[in-house]
Amino acid sequence: MSRRASPEALARQLLAATGYLDTYRSRPRLDLPSLLEHYDLEWYRRPFDDLSGALLRVGGVYRVVTNARHRLARQRFTAAHEFKHYLTDRHLSPGFACRRYVDNRLEREANVFARDLLMPAEVLGWLWGQGYHAPEQIGRALGVSAQAVDIRMAELEIGPEKALWG
């Protein structure tokens, strides 16, 4: 896996490699636990006070840890974010502890990767065409929060405005 690929390209490569891009029409929700398992990543849930998640190395094994106090949809986004640190950043630090609203390049890129992994543009476009219009409905289909879908749809200009004016 290239460390120099953009986070968007990296997400796309992974989705293609897992076969998801061929199967999302029957199963839109990415099987993130299996994907992490494929990389020998263990996924733990712990009740953190102020962390969204972490990537830790324990013995020779990496663990993705997400905040058990957060809703599952948000934990999936966090797990995908930590997965990006594993794929491209793990040589930079013995571990990562991630909070919301920390703005640096690695954090931004991990968020872009998580967004593209869990909400690929073509899948949102396809869902829209299938009649999935409410962010809550799309969020349930993909296993992400309605808020994340809302932001993504605005970025992609998917929505009623486009249908009216496009």
- Please tell me the distance from the alpha carbon of residue 79 to that of residue 54, in angstroms, as a whole number: 8
Q: Is 87 in the site for Zn ion (CB under 5 A)?
A: no
Q: Which residues pair with 61 in a beta bridge?
A: 58
Our separate counts of H helices and E strands in the chain read 9, 4
Q: Is 110 in the site for Zn ion (CB under 5 A)?
A: yes
89, 138 contact by CB (below 8 A): no
Q: Is 123 in the site for Zn ion (CB under 5 A)?
A: no
- Please tell me the distance from the alpha carbon of residue 72 to that of residue 152, in angstroms, as a whole number: 18
Q: Please choose, out of 41-49, 110-118, 121-129, 133-141, the segment that lies near Zn ion by the rule CB under 5 A.
A: 110-118
Q: Is 114 in the site for Zn ion (CB under 5 A)?
A: no
Q: Is 98 in the site for Zn ion (CB under 5 A)?
A: yes
Q: How near is the Cβ of 163 to Zn ion at its closest, in Å?
A: 36
Q: Is 118 in the site for Zn ion (CB under 5 A)?
A: no
Which residues make up the interface to Zn ion (CB under 5 A)? 98, 107, 110
